[in-house]
Structure 1
Amino acid sequence: MSPVDDASPLSRTDAQQAVVDLGWRLLLGELVTVVPLDSLAEGAGLLAAVTVELGADGDAHLRADLRSDRLRLTLQDRARGAVTAADTALARRISAVVDRPVAPVGDPRIGDAQELEVAIDALDIPALLPFWAAVLAMVPQPGDDEALVDPAGRLPAVWFQQMDAERPQRNRIHLDITVPHDVADARVAAALAAGGRLLSDAEARSFWVLADAEGNEVCVCTWQDRDRPAEVSPAG
């Protein structure tokens, strides 16, 4: 079996040690590297070279975020939600193509080498998870039935922590999810059908205030009805 065919998840230690010398870092089950750039054109050229090198091998593993001053690359077996030997092999192939220093610690561009995870304390995770999956248009994280991820890889993961008893006034959260104006009604309807409650639609179409079964709130927001003299901002 070649490395790119090896889908066995690696331990965190093994995954990090396999590529630490290349400047890749393990973050929330992904390998991440940030390459400083001088221009979009430079980054586009690098990314094109990387995709040519990987070919079809990269399709189920590589994600790229290109900005004028940085190229952020992440590797993970997307179907398993884990780093495998295939990913570390791909990291080495990518680094050989890029062949330049990654952003050093202290460089503001290294800020892209981080991930945000939203944690929700819950008494009944199975009861809450469908609501959050619907309102955020997320899917269960492969290999973890207590977390949700954005299929497009843009939004932070949402993770549910099991509580033994209620803790009033602690660990309260509030999220704003901004969606295209022509999908807002469907998003609200899906969230309500998944066990949510409508707390207020007084400011719709700017935003709808919803809550899950335990009172955690989220606003579904759009750009509409905001260009008015007395603009109202979403709650929170």
Structure 2
Amino acid sequence: MGLTGAEISEAVRDAGWRYVLAGLSTAVSVPSARDAGVVAQRVLSVADEVAVDIRPGRVRLALAPVTAREIDLARRISELVRDLGYEPSPADAQVLEIAIDTLDAARIVPFWRAVMDYVDGPRPPEVVDPRGQGPSIWFQQMDTPRPQRNRMHIDVSVPHDEAPRRIEAALAAGGVLRSDEAAPAFWVLADAEGNEACVTTWQGRD
């Protein structure tokens, strides 16, 4: 039997990682690209399976799938990062995916796989960028058409303790809360024109 979301979340909380969208994520703020390269090189020296995304001023790190081994690696990486004088930043551990509502996923998945040059992902129906650059796309089964609602919305998976701040900021920026019935798994928000986005966490899914 695998670890629950609650077990994973608690195991990495003090290490500065968060459980987001079936994986472990954190980020490290650095002053320069050179420093980012140093952090990435040191991390890869102890865990070459970690996904490393270097951006100006930041190194994002991810581990998936999550077992006891990945939890141990996350802790070791955090120790290494702290030895370098930096601190893992879980608030930056955001993972973006695109969700498309559909009546027949099998009918439209091939189009999205082709037009995006994506491949099938580990959580079907889902397609992912084999280059690791773009967000994954997953397909939400609908029972009836929703002609008066956009058939696309954005899912933003965030650390569970980042969700309240993110929702508050969205509402302050003119957004509206469409539904919190499934919270804390997800909250449905919309902009002033009705375009929807869901803020999601691991909680409420076990």
Gaps of 5+ in 1: 1-7, 77-81, 175-236
Kept after mapping to 2: 8 A contact 1:9/1:85: no
SS in 1 for 2:147: coil
In structure 1, distance between residues paired with 2:90 and 2:72 = 22
Structure 2 residue aligned with 1:97: 80
CA distances 1:181-224 after superposition (whole Å, capped 9, x unpaired): xxxxxxxxxxxxxxxxxxxxxxxxxxxxxxxxxxxxxxxxxxxx
In structure 2, distance between residues paired with 1:35 and 1:169 = 42
In structure 2, distance between residues paired with 1:103 and 1:88 = 16
Cα displacement (A) at 1:68 = 3.1
Query: Alpha carbon RMSD of aligned pairs, Å?
Result: 2.1
Which amino acid in 2 is paired with 1:94?
I
Cα displacement (A) at 1:103 = 3.2
In structure 2, distance between residues paired with 1:159 and 1:67 = 26
In structure 1, distance between residues paired with 2:73 and 2:60 = 15
Structure 2 residue aligned with 1:72: 60
The aligned runs of 1:17-96 (5 Å cut-off) are 17-54=10-47, 58-59=48-49, 62-76=50-64, 82-96=65-79
Structure 2 residue aligned with 1:161: 140
Kept after mapping to 2: 8 A contact 1:148/1:157: yes
In structure 2, distance between residues paired with 1:16 and 1:37 = 25
Kept after mapping to 1: 8 A contact 2:118/2:127: yes
Task: Give me the identity figure in percent.
Answer: 43
SS in 1 for 2:95: coil
| Structure 1 residues 169 and 128: alpha-carbon distance in aligned structure 2, compared to 1, 3 A threshold | same
Decide which structure has the larger Cα Rg and report it. 1
| Structure 1 residues 68 and 31: alpha-carbon distance in aligned structure 2, compared to 1, 3 A threshold | same
Out of 108, 111, 133, the residue aligned to residue 128 of structure 1 is: 108
Cα displacement (A) at 1:104 = 7.0
Kept after mapping to 2: 8 A contact 1:121/1:162: yes
Which amino acid in 2 is paired with 1:26?
Y
Kept after mapping to 1: 8 A contact 2:28/2:59: yes
Q: TM-score by structure 2 length? A: 0.67
Aligned residue pairs, count: 151
In structure 1, distance between residues paired with 2:115 and 2:4 = 33
Structure 1 residue aligned with 2:175: none
In structure 2, distance between residues paired with 1:46 and 1:157 = 26
In structure 2, distance between residues paired with 1:171 and 1:53 = 45
Gaps of 5+ in 2: 154-206
Which amino acid in 1 is paired with 2:59?
L
In structure 2, distance between residues paired with 1:14 and 1:89 = 13
